Amino acid sequence: MRIRLLPSSAGRESQLQCLTSFLIDDRLAIDGGSLGFALVPEKMGSIRHIIVTHAHADHTASLPIYVAEAFNVLNDPILIYGSADVISALKKHVFNDDVWPDFARIQLTNGGGPTIEFRELQARETVNIAGIDVTPIPVNHLVPTFGLLVQNASAAVLFTSDTYSTDEIWKTARENKHLKAVFVDVSFPNEMGELAEASKHLTPQLLADDLRKLDRAVEVYAVHIKPTHRDEVIRQVASLDNPQVSIGEIDRVYEW
């Protein structure tokens, strides 16, 4: 399994992450925060399956741009997966002909159907998407949000998406014997614990507490670090003195 966290800054190298998009095996995207400008032009349209974990802007911001840029090369619809809440939000607030054209009504040039189609995900029900088994697990965020367990023939990897302290997804991770790694939201430093609680994100100390629920030796990568607090979060993650935990690198290809 190959996983890449896409850059948030178009046209220049940066480890600052203000948007979220992951690519899995170059055929499945998790979230559309930076998908619309992180790929080179010739790769636009190469990703036909996109899971949206929740409707917040940093996870959806460039999704409509990606759809528009991909339009001319599509022979089949782009499939967008999410909970009923996510699909409703995308229809109401994004693909609504006010903020962006409703590409669910715009037909492909070859007559092969609409440009996008929505597919609803159900909590805890594993589905195969682009040859990868995906299990959505509810997590503790401000809006309905799925963390994801993804698995192919070689490995399983967990994405918490945005979450505060939670239980079920760590139980799922603990029980999966093929699990190789976890990508986990660590947005704020410990000193901003009140904001972390109010906005439902983790701090390094909260991560340490939740990792006790994982209780197994797998690689853990902190992502979703707010750019203005990045240095402090990195220092505090290092001070956990946990060899399992490191900082997720943008544009690195992780492989298991």
Q: Which CATH number characterizes residue 154's domain? A: 3.60.15.10
pTM listed for this prediction: 0.96
> Would residue 256 count as lying in a domain?
no
Based on the number of CB atoms within 10 Å of its own CB, is 204 exposed (0-12), middle (13-18) or buried (19 or more)? buried
Rounded average pLDDT per 10-residue block, the chain, 256 residues: 90 81 97 93 93 98 97 96 98 98 96 95 98 98 98 96 98 96 98 98 98 95 97 98 97 96
- List the domain range (segments joined by +) for residue 62: 2-9+16-251
Residues written for the chain: 256
CA distances from 165 to 86, 147, 179, 180 (A): 22, 13, 20, 21
CA distances from 157 to 34, 148, 161 (A): 21, 8, 12
Strand order in the sheet with 219-223: 127-129, 132-138, 146-151, 156-159, 179-185, 219-223, 245-247
> Would residue 99 count as lying in a domain?
yes
Return the bridge partners of 117, or none: 79
Looking at the structure of the chain, the number of domains it has is: 1
